[in-house]
């Protein structure tokens, strides 16, 4: 790890060696709360952030072109690399309260791109945005038995308001099913009020003991959808529709080849009848639960008396769903695509898709080069490309190359005096290092350059997905016995095998291997094989992996 | 007040008669925290919301066309009317915790329109969005003396996390200057790091005793901008730029003719050197502080040691600003434009700009009418108009007219069998009641109808602003003595007069009349007159009014 990083996070090494208490019996929760593995989970600094520089420039200043080892190599220490990328690419910083995170503009812009896409999809599928208060009476949390069991260990409680001790403690929302049902009960009367389909973009709080920027923080941002339906079929259809939207988002926008499927009973959300998930393989081959969609059945509607009068005049409890994706997804993007040089952003979510670096030595070159760079910028911008011209004079072109590579910008355009004379530019791909990714002599002619850039961005988008797919598939092993499963997991891979064993067996796998059932994938092999654990006939394969 | 409302809010009458403790010595705070007046401030229900119906349809079902008295008449009881509109137009509802509010989809859509406009303006002026954690160590709040004095009475404190008593209480952010400065101190090193200009869209919490939906709630949504600059001139320019953006937004988007100006020392934000404000006159002639922009000077940078090295190598404290607009603004829109029939939305912020009501009696008419209505909808939609076709069969056209008027939709298009035969439609303006606002025989021809609709929407937008301006100007009285001021205020008007008296005099005016200095308007008369209180030469006029 580079010197600056060690200074910045003095306590990491110690924390790494701690083991965490077993929580296997606790049910997993929405989107952002998958099972944690024993290793690789960092605690954020417990004190206020240290005072030394945050600025990646301060660090990179030391480097010259080619010296991009200012961040820990990914292959050497994945977690160290992850934290370095977050710091030096200016994605996030540590908040003053243990486990909290400040999302910096560049990191937030990735979240905004995620929001922009999903928000449209939610509205297209008939959901309206709204806002529920974040303070929930403590008594609400207790109404649904498994919900309180799942969440009570990690609640933040407000006990003082306006200088006075409160009569009832208030929960700072960890998720909103309870308050949503309290309100739904008042809004839903007749079958004509159904379906009721809403979503909110909000912050939520979970008192996590081991935290890691983006992946698991005390407070995080997410969207949570909540719907109520007249029939169980409609609720099931909705839960499936939303996991499908998340899946498409992951593939098409984030270039992450997630595996959608159903959670095991043990891993189902606290309060749900069925949980669907998208599971992503990170660069260290650990699984990340990247989004979830729950069929809540009538669990909350029974607890809160959310009823409607059906077409025959009968009172019925509504059938519900909830579904969420959070800022954790930004962590997933970093850990899927990044490399030793830093971040690598999929073009469709990149805040900056193209960076232009002008190159000159003499003053008379400068004005020619800059004016060409400006007109290239303007033409790309008006073609809808997110472009930045880095014309600062304090940095060398080499420094800029490293910096924007670290920031994961998909394409770089270089313009020097000779290029201007030739009416052409040099284009470099972030995802293809060195000379291989560099193409000389692309015409500056707006129509030609725009088409070329858009084409390249599409190519990079596909290429990132393809690379991630190959990586994923080469790290999933089909197993037919527990021994094979253990050996796959010990090699750091995912194991896929037929499973119809008990919850106890599932927990035993976790205790003995550190791996959990990530999901029963929707895509199942045609051939049926006996359960890897019991040898009994099994109807499904499950995916096992260690996870974040 | 209508029966349904009385049922819904049983405790309002009692609460109305209570007087509130004097808080004149407390400094006012950002955007959403102006001084409160003695009357007209409601407490939200203290218990969980009552169980009876929320659905305006349940209420309106009783009414027939012309019977629009299902909401309290505005002229009869402004506050009762305000609460009825919020309930029946489905803008918001009461949360289970005292003083909290659920923002329902229709109300939230207005907030989204506000966000959409401002977000673009903020980015155009060089600000980046980001996110700071909402939990702030209690010690941070104590660092800036007047800040803690202003905010400590209304803090919500988290004292328990993860089942354990916390060592240091955490403040749920009432505003973020302290945590922002804590982070700025780590990010700012050199003059090259300046200006640093960020914004966040977030929820904030203030433990208010008297609450009113949108206007003052325990938790509300806002944006808060925070900037740091190298010179006091730049900070002042930024604070003025942002109040100018707010002013333009109010005039051009919300059709609210706010008066921009400077707050008196007494009314300045807790921690600011200078506060700029936009003051709006509501329909009951009370003032609403609708947005504020603060020049923070070096108050927070000194408290938090936020320094930079200037071009001469000297260490300097940065100069800062902060500025905010909140969901309170939605309340301002309701109270500026609404009438006895309900909400009246300015077209540029209306979630639905045009509602189409098809009218038929016989079955053979139905298909012709509906198919014409659909094609009108599609052509308007593709022209960028926000249009809704209300083709439900459970309601009569008359019921629909009332309902969409209550919801404040600017334009209604009626299509009946005869209209279809004539190839024309009927267009009604929400802001011009009865026959006067109704035009027959507008061609269905897409190009003609689109142009007509867009033209009418523009006309309504201007007309709402014009009407509000006339109302505002006819309710501001120029005064030259304290007696004249008192008599203007007692008539419910605003008083404008020259002022150079002391803070004590200002507080005396508040105690004796209930009015405060809303601002020293930027627009000042050319002629100078002696101070209305002291008779001394004064360089400025101040605006006095009772306020929310």
Instruction: Give the integer Cα–Cα distance in Å for A523 and A259.
Output: 9
3-state secondary structure of B221: strand
- B7 CB within 8 Å of a chain A CB: no
Q: Is there a contact between A130 and B136 if contact means CB atoms under 8 Å apart?
A: no
Q: Which of residues 28-87 of A touch B (CB under 8 A)?
A: 48-49, 51, 53-55, 58
Q: Is there a contact between B179 and A134 if contact means CB atoms under 8 Å apart?
A: no
Q: Is there a contact between A109 and B129 if contact means CB atoms under 8 Å apart?
A: yes
Closest CA to B347 of B463, B213, B467, B466: B463
Max distance between CA atoms of chain A, in angstroms, equals: 85
Contact A456, A413 (CB under 8 A): no
Contact B299, B144 (CB under 8 A): yes
Q: Is there a contact between B154 and A169 if contact means CB atoms under 8 Å apart?
A: no
H/E element holding A13? helix A12-17
Q: CA Rg, chain B, in Å?
A: 25
Cα angle: A420, vertex A424, A427; to 5 degrees: 120
> What is the model's pLDDT at position A151?
86
The β-bridge relationship of strands A135-137 and B135-137 is unpaired
> What is the model's pLDDT at position B58?
39
Instruction: Give the integer Cα–Cα distance in Å for B344 and A71.
Output: 57
Q: From residue A207, how far is each of A33, A211, A310, A354 by CA, in Å?
A: 12, 9, 41, 39
Residues of B in contact with A100 (CB under 8 A): 133, 135
Closest CA to A246 of A258, A235, A238: A258
For A307-362, give the secondary structure using H, E and C.
Answer: EEECCCCCEEECEEEEEEEECHHHHHHHHHHCECCECCCCHHHCCCCEEEEECCCC
> If you ran DSSP here, which 8-state letter would residue A398 be given?
H
Query: What are the b/e assignments for A261-276, b being 16+ CB within 10 Å?
Result: bbbbebbbbbbbbbbb
Using a pLDDT cut of 90, give the percent of chain A over it: 84
DSSP bridge partners of A442: A425
* Chain B CA closest to residue A132: B102
DSSP bridge partners of A260: A278
Helices first, then strands: H and E counts in chain A: 17, 23
Q: From residue A47, how far is each of A96, A99, A156, A381, B494 by CA, in Å?
A: 7, 10, 19, 43, 51
* Chain A CA closest to residue B207: A162
Q: Mention every residue, 6+ apart, whose C-beta is less than 8 A from residue B279.
A: B258, B259, B260, B261, B287, B288, B289, B290, B518, B519, B543, B545, B547
* Chain A CA closest to residue B221: A131
Closest CA to A143 of A315, A316, A321, A302: A302
Q: Is there a contact between A158 and B156 if contact means CB atoms under 8 Å apart?
A: yes
DSSP bridge partners of B547: B287
Q: Is there a contact between B95 and A132 if contact means CB atoms under 8 Å apart?
A: yes
> From the CA of B525, how many Å to the nearest CA of chain A?
43
Q: Which of residues 88-117 of B touch A (CB under 8 A)?
A: 93, 95-97, 100-105, 107-109, 112
> What is the model's pLDDT at position A147?
81
Instruction: State the best of A57, A134, A136 to mutate against chain B, taking most chain B CBs within 10 Å.
Output: A134
Helix axes A446-473, A328-337, angle to 10 degrees: 90
Contact A319, A231 (CB under 8 A): yes
The β-bridge relationship of strands A424-429 and B156-161 is unpaired
Q: Is there a contact between B192 and A152 if contact means CB atoms under 8 Å apart?
A: no
Contact A3, A60 (CB under 8 A): no
Instruction: Give the integer Cα–Cα distance in Å for B134 and B448.
Output: 51
Please give the interface size between A and B, counted as residue pairs whose CB atoms are below 8 Å apart.
194
> What is the model's pLDDT at position B145?
79
Residues of B in contact with A129 (CB under 8 A): 105, 108-109, 112
Helix axes B328-337, B446-473, angle to 10 degrees: 90
Residues of B in contact with A179 (CB under 8 A): 95-96
> If you ran DSSP here, which 8-state letter would residue B191 be given?
G
Q: Mention every residue, 6+ apart, whose C-beta is less than 8 A from residue A10.
A: A45, A50
Residues of B in contact with A169 (CB under 8 A): 160
Walking along chain B (548 residues) 10 residues at a time, the average pLDDT comes out as 32 32 35 33 34 36 44 96 98 97 98 98 98 97 84 94 96 97 98 98 96 97 98 98 98 98 95 96 98 98 97 98 98 98 98 98 94 98 98 94 97 97 97 95 97 98 98 98 98 98 97 98 96 97 98
Closest CA to A340 of A69, A121, A1, A145: A69
Q: Is there a contact between A102 and B130 if contact means CB atoms under 8 Å apart?
A: yes
Residues of A in contact with B209 (CB under 8 A): 162
Instruction: Give the integer Cα–Cα distance in Å for B481 and B501.
Output: 12
Task: Mark the ranges of chain A whose per-residue pLDDT is less than 70.
Answer: 1-69
Instruction: Give the integer Cα–Cα distance in Å for A171 and A193.
Output: 29
In the sheet that holds A287-297, the strands lie side by side as A128-129, A196-205, A219-229, A319-326, A287-297, A274-281, A259-262, A516-521, A541-545, A494-498, A476-478
Nearest to B105 among A101, A128, A158 (CB): A128
Residues of B in contact with A186 (CB under 8 A): 49, 51, 53-54, 93
- Gap between the terminal Cα atoms of chain B: 21
Backbone φ and ψ for B393, nearest 5 degrees, come out as -100, -5
Residues of B in contact with A53 (CB under 8 A): 186, 189
User: Which tens digits make up the pLDDT trace of A250-309?
Assistant: 999 999 999 999 999 999 998 999 999 999 999 999 999 999 999 999 999 999 999 999
Closest CA to A272 of A236, A316, A223: A236
Q: From residue B240, how far is each of B300, B375, B461 by CA, in Å?
A: 19, 47, 26
- B163 CB within 8 Å of a chain A CB: yes
Instruction: Give the integer Cα–Cα distance in Å for A181 and A300.
Output: 7
Residues of B in contact with A103 (CB under 8 A): 130-131
> From the CA of A152, how many Å to the nearest CA of chain B?
8
Residue B191 burial (CB count, 10 A): 18
Q: Is there a contact between A131 and B103 if contact means CB atoms under 8 Å apart?
A: yes
Instruction: Give the integer Cα–Cα distance in Å for B459 and B462.
Output: 5
Say yes or no: ipTM exceeds 0.85. Answer: yes
Q: Mention every residue, 6+ apart, whose C-beta is less than 8 A from residue B441.
A: B422, B424, B426
Instruction: Give the integer Cα–Cα distance in Å for B82 and B86.
Output: 6
Q: From residue B395, how far is each of B69, B356, B358, B401, B425 by CA, in Å?
A: 18, 14, 11, 10, 20
H/E element holding A14? helix A12-17
Cα angle: A339, vertex A102, A408; to 5 degrees: 25
> From the CA of A161, how many Å to the nearest CA of chain B?
4
Instruction: Give the integer Cα–Cα distance in Å for B41 and B302.
Output: 37
Q: Is there a contact between B198 and A112 if contact means CB atoms under 8 Å apart?
A: no
Name the H helices within A152-253. Answer: 177-187, 232-252
Residues of A in contact with B131 (CB under 8 A): 102-103, 108, 111, 221
Instruction: Give the integer Cα–Cα distance in Å for A240 and A522.
Output: 11
Instruction: Give the integer Cα–Cα distance in Å for B156 and A169.
Output: 11
DSSP bridge partners of B170: B137, B158
The torsion region of residue A177 among left (phi > 0), alpha (psi -120 to 50) and beta comes to alpha
Q: Which of residues 215-274 of A touch B (CB under 8 A)?
A: 218-219, 221
> If you ran DSSP here, which 8-state letter would residue A49 be given?
P
Q: Indicate the burial class of A92 (C-beta count within 10 angstroms; 0-12, 13-18, 19 or more).
A: buried
Contact B498, B520 (CB under 8 A): no
- A394 CB within 8 Å of a chain B CB: yes
Nearest to A132 among B58, B102, B394 (CB): B102
Q: From residue B262, how far is each of A65, A72, B90, B118, B307 by CA, in Å?
A: 52, 52, 35, 22, 28
Residues of A in contact with B185 (CB under 8 A): 51
Residues of B in contact with A172 (CB under 8 A): 158, 172
Q: Is there a contact between A135 and B160 if contact means CB atoms under 8 Å apart?
A: no
> From the CA of A124, how many Å to the nearest CA of chain B?
14
> What is the model's pLDDT at position B148?
83
> What is the model's pLDDT at position B407?
98
């Amino acid at each position: 790890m580079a010197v600056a990083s060690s200074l910045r996070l003095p306590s990491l090494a110690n924390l790494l060696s701690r083991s965490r208490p077993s929580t296997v019996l606790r049910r997993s929760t929405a989107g952002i709360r998958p099972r944690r593995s024993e290793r690789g989970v960092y605690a954020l600094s417990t004190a206020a952030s240290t005072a030394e520089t945050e600025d990646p420039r301060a660090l990179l200043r030391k480097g010259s072109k080619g010296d991009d080892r200012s961040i820990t190599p990914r292959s050497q220490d994945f977690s160290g690399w992850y934290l370095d990328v977050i710091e030096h690419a200016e994605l996030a910083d540590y908040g003053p309260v243990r486990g909290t995170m400040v999302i910096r503009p560049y990191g937030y812009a990735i979240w905004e791109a995620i929001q922009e896409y999903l928000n449209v999809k939610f509205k297209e599928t008939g959901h309206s945005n709204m806002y529920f208060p974040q303070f929930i009476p403590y008594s609400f949390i207790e109404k649904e038995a498994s919900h309180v069991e799942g969440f009570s260990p990690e609640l933040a409680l407000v006990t003082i308001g306006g200088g006075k001790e409160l009569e009832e403690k208030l929960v700072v929302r960890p998720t909103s099913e309870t308050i949503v049902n309290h309100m739904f009960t008042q809004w839903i009367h007749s079958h004509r009020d159904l379906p009721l389909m809403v979503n909110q973009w909000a912050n939520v709080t979970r008192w996590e003991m081991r935290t890691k920027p983006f992946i698991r923080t005390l407070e995080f941002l997410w969207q949570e959808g909540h719907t109520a339906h007249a029939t169980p079929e409609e609720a099931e259809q909705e839960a499936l529709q939303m996991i499908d939207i998340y899946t498409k988002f992951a593939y098409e926008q984030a270039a992450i080849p997630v595996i959608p499927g159903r959670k095991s009973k043990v891993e189902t959300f606290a309060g749900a009848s069925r949980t669907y998930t998208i599971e992503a393989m990170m660069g260290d081959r650990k699984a990340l639960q990247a989004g979830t969609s729950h069929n809540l059945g009538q669990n909350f509607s029974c607890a809160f008396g959310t009823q409607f009068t059906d077409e025959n005049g009968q009172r019925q409890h509504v059938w519900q769903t909830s579904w969420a994706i959070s800022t954790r997804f930004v962590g997933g993007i970093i850990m899927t695509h990044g490399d030793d040089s830093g971040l690598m952003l999929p073009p469709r979510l990149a805040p900056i898709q193209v960076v232009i670096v002008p190159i000159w030595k003499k003053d008379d070159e400068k004005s020619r080069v800059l004016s060409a760079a400006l007109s290239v910028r303007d033409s790309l911008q008006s073609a809808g490309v997110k472009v930045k011209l880095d014309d600062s004079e304090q940095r060398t072109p080499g420094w800029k190359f490293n910096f924007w590579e670290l920031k994961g910008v998909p394409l770089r355009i270089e313009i020097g005096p000779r290029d201007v004379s030739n009416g052409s530019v040099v284009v470099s791909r972030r995802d293809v290092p060195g000379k291989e990714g560099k193409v000389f002599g692309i015409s500056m002619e707006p129509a030609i350059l725009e088409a070329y850039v858009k084409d390249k961005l599409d190519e990079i988008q596909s290429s990132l997905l393809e690379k991630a797919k190959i990586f994923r598939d080469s790290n999933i092993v089909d197993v037919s016995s527990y021994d094979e499963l253990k050996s796959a997991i010990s090699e750091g891979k995912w194991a896929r095998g037929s499973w119809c064993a008990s919850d106890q067996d599932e927990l035993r796998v976790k205790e003995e291997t550190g791996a959990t059932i990530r999901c029963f994938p929707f895509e199942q092999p045609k051939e049926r094989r006996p359960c890897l654990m019991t040898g009994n006939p099994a109807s499904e394969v499950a995916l096992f992996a260690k996870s974040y």
